[in-house]
Amino acid sequence: MDNKTNRTSPEYRFPQGFWWGSAASGPQTEGAADQDGRKPSIWDYWYSIEPNCFHNDVGPENTSNFYHMFKEDIQLMKETGHTSFRTSIQWSRLIPDGVGDVNEKAVTFYNQVIDELLANDIEPFMNLYHFDMPMCMQEKGGWESREVIEAYVNYAATCFRLFGDRVKHWFTFNEPIVPVEASYLYDLHYPNVVDFKRGATVAHHTIVAHAKAVEAFKKLNVDGKIGIILNLTPSYPRSQDAADVKAAHIADLIFNRSFLDPVTKGEYPKDLIEILKDRELLPIVEPGDLAVIRDNPIDILGVNYYQPRRVKAKEQSVPAGNPFMPEHLFDPYIMPGRKINPHRGWEICEEVIYDIMMDIRDNYGNLPFFISENGMGVEGEEKFRNEAGFIEDDYRIEFIQEHLKWVHKGLQEGANCLGYHLWTFIDNWSWTNAYKNRYGLVEVDLQNNYKRTIKKSGRWYKTLAENNGFTVG
């Protein structure tokens, strides 16, 4: 007998009720930037003064037109197997002046989106802030301002009251460390500040705003769960040499534990406090801050995973007088032979998602969490279009499969993972990169009335969701 007939292909089945879906954001998909009462965010303002900072000068008004096409898009979500979908409410649309009157046209829009999702058996997951500070709030100092904290908490409570009867999964922030890094450390995003202490203030105020929003959620007795979405980039040392291991620990404190610990354990890591205290970089902590952080842990965590961080011990001293940066304490390390996405420049290392799951299991009380973003951006995807007219993105299918194998292993070993969301449902505008890299299960043709076409990965994703897993071979 041919031995091949006795072989069985590996199967990866997931728990009943496992969430299959994708993630997006209001500012990256809605469009209609100046319609129906919405006022500018920092992205609209920055584009108005420096359009050359954006790939091909494409700004935030040229997104995927979800504002006008959400019914069609939700049907496409159903066609691609979604049982859940995360997006965000735009503060600048719902409360255009940051505080004060609610925009009723925005209320109508978000109600329609939520109701349409539910009518199609897709659970809405709603995030409140995705890098999109209203410009009127930035003029008050953005997250450096205590006034803005209170305005955000009012905005959050307004959302809970308006939509909490149907939305059962809420998230206060998506990747809150990104505005710290990009806007206050590395001169990548508006307001283009390079000042670590101001960045530390932004981080602390964001965590206070988060905790106060969780507190408001609980006081309103909203029927649901509330959490936060963090991009976790585990830090790996070049070697097991003590200096390399210490460098990785420091990087982990700054880029992961700085947010993960306060929102789950209610306190900042002591090692991180000592590092900042020694350099006189601690933000001002006002009375009540630490108590509200301590008393309002999250119910659920969203984990965005794209790539690891690899570091080594610092090899050269930093010249005196240079503004402090995290990289004064370690050097980045390029691991030989690493697999890389050449379009994005990011390392692809699937097993890291398992390490994250084990860390949450072992060091964070096995908190309920889900993979809230994971995806692969590819430039020039049109070259993969087949004769039938759709994109054959087998590389994306392989990317998802290889990550899900490690998610499956983590589940088998007891991690409390509830679902998987791909970034993203439809090709969308991605900040300064605009439409340079495409991530979607669905292609959008900006030159042809925003025409949508499901990619091969979108058809595959439906099969994945319907089977609650996949078979290899």
Question: Is there a catalytic annotation at residue 215?
Answer: no
**Would you say 278 and 347 are in contact if contact means Cβ atoms under 8 Å apart?**
no
At 102 the three-state DSSP class reads: coil
Diameter of the chain measured on Cα atoms: 77
**What does the block give as tokens for 95?**
């409360």
Distance CA 154, CA 227 (A): 17
- Which residue type occupies 166? R
| CB-CB neighbours of 451 under 10 Å | 10
**Given 175, 350, 381, 443, the catalytic residue:** 175
**What does the block give as tokens for 189?**
């995003």
| Sequence-separated (6 or more) residues with CB below 8 Å from residue 398 | none
Give the CA-trace dihedral at 249, 251, 257, 259, to 10 degrees. Answer: 170
Given 3-state DSSP classes, what are the helix, strand and coil percentages for the chain, each rounded to the nearest 5?
45, 15, 40
Distance CA 315, CA 292 (A): 40
Residue with tokens 């040499």: 241
355: exposed, middle or buried (Cβ count in 10 Å: 0-12, 13-18, 19+): middle
**Given 30, 123, 144, 373, the catalytic residue:** 373
Active site residues: 175, 373
